[in-house]
Amino acid sequence: MTPNLPNPSNRPVPPDRVSMREVAEQAGVSRSAVSLALQQHPSIPVATRERIHAAAAELGYRKNPLVAALMRSRRAPATATPVRATLAYLTADAPNDAWRDAATLRSFYTSSAARADQRGFRLDEFSLTGPRMNPKRLAGLLKARGIHGLLVAPLPGQRSSLDFDFTDFAVVGLGTSVKDPAIDRVADDHYRNLQLAFENTQALGYRRIGLALPGNVSRRLEHRWWAGFLVAQQSLPPSQRPPALMPETRDEIPPQLNAWIARHRIDAVIFALRDQELMSQAPRHVGLVSLSVHGAGDAIAGIRQDVAQIGADAADLLIEKVQRWETGAHRSPRLQLVQGAWSGGMSAPGAGLPRQSLLALP
């Protein structure tokens, strides 16, 4: 029997060498309880699960994805390809790194990669628009590298379909843009977030609340913001339900904005994006709310989308599908939604109160 020797370098033990037994000893439970808790199994009480997760985090424990795949491979078809510990982040932007210019898209990637790393996987980017790349060649490259899990980034522009054969891959989409083929997706809860914005704007005393939303954006989101707005209005008498301003594009809103506000006596406007240039054109007595604010400290009032949680949840779902050998598109795809949170700001100080010029706000 090999004795337990001291670590002569005094360096910390690498995380992948921390065993489940050590986590069990740290948490004061059995190894089977640790195994179940790390899978969020309901048979383990919530408090116990939290204690076990805290112990695992303190020790730097990481589940070995290869071991997990090996255990599942005993129940998988004999022809199944062994799973390796790399996932692909699939982008379709041209040029192929254009997505990095958008803060939300960068956050999707970094949060997904961080969660994958926590679970023992790495997330590598692959582009469909790279030099001499096409869907068939990329699929072959991924298979050659033993990569069987794909996280699909939001598609650029108004694209809603992706020419890629997912038959041999576990796949999850970020956001709602991918509609063809029908894949599982994790996205912002646009419908509920609009209602949160409406309710909090009402709480500030505003009574005639309008929505300014480009039609092309609404279609991309399957009209979820618009639906939330229409349902929120049902609690009001018809005289207090101004119609949404919904031209086809963002650039068509400015010429119509103030006439629409005056015609319907609107005292607060909910905008789709955090667009200070557009929002600043509204009269100073009108409260301004955005459905995509930066969060705490933002001078613009509105909804902070939990982009980091969306990315983490998407990585979790993908890993679970990889470990279940669940591949291809679905007849009944899942849509997992993450609700945002309200964040107050000087752009909506309250009904009857003049707001600062948005051009003076950070």
Return the C-alpha torsion angle 285, 290, 294, 299, nearest 10. Answer: 0
| Range list for CATH 3.40.50.2300 in the chain | 86-188+307-338, 190-306+342-360
Task: Tell me how far apart the alpha carbons of residues 68 and 85 are, in angstroms, rounded to a whole number.
Answer: 10
The architecture in CATH of the region 190-306+342-360 reads 3-Layer(aba) Sandwich (3.40)
Q: Which residues contact 319 (CB under 8 A, 6 or more apart)?
A: 65, 87, 116, 119, 121, 149
Q: Look up the pTM and report it.
A: 0.73
- Give the pLDDT of residue 13: 39
- Look up tokens 């591949």; give the residue: 327
Q: Helix 31-38 vs helix 20-27: angle between axes, to the nearest 10 degrees?
A: 100
Residue 361, burial from CB neighbour count under 10 angstroms (0-12, 13-18, 19+)? middle
| Range list for CATH 1.10.260.40 in the chain | 15-62
DSSP H/E element including 209: strand 209-212
DSSP H/E element including 86: strand 86-91
Task: Tell me how far apart the alpha carbons of residues 70 and 82 are, in angstroms, rounded to a whole number.
Answer: 8
Q: Which residues contact 36 (CB under 8 A, 6 or more apart)?
A: 43, 44
Task: Tell me how far apart the alpha carbons of residues 153 and 310 are, in angstroms, rounded to a whole number.
Answer: 12
CA 316 to centroid of chain Cα atoms: 12
**252 vs 9, 77, 216, CA distance in Å?**
66, 55, 11
- The neighbour count for residue 241, using CB atoms within 10 Å, is 18
* Peptide bond before residue 95 is cis, with ω within 30 degrees of 0: yes
Quick check: 244 and 328 in contact, CB under 8 A?
no
Quick one: which of 326, 306, 254, 354 has its CA closest to 108? 306
* Peptide bond before residue 12 is cis, with ω within 30 degrees of 0: no
- Class for the domain spanning 15-62: mainly alpha
As a 3-state breakdown, the chain gives helix, strand, coil percent values, each rounded to 5, of 40, 15, 45
Q: What's the one-letter identity of residue 45?
A: P
The architecture in CATH of the region 86-188+307-338 reads 3-Layer(aba) Sandwich (3.40)
Strand partners, 125: 89
Q: What is the pLDDT along the chain (362 residues), one digit of tens a residue?
A: 333 433 433 333 344 468 888 899 999 999 889 888 887 677 888 889 889 888 888 887 766 555 555 555 555 555 555 444 799 999 887 665 667 767 788 889 999 999 999 988 999 998 888 778 888 888 888 888 888 899 999 887 777 788 888 888 999 999 988 888 889 999 999 999 999 999 999 999 999 999 999 999 999 888 999 999 999 999 999 999 999 999 999 999 999 999 999 999 999 999 988 888 888 888 989 999 999 887 666 788 999 999 999 999 999 999 999 888 888 887 789 999 999 999 998 999 999 888 877 776 66
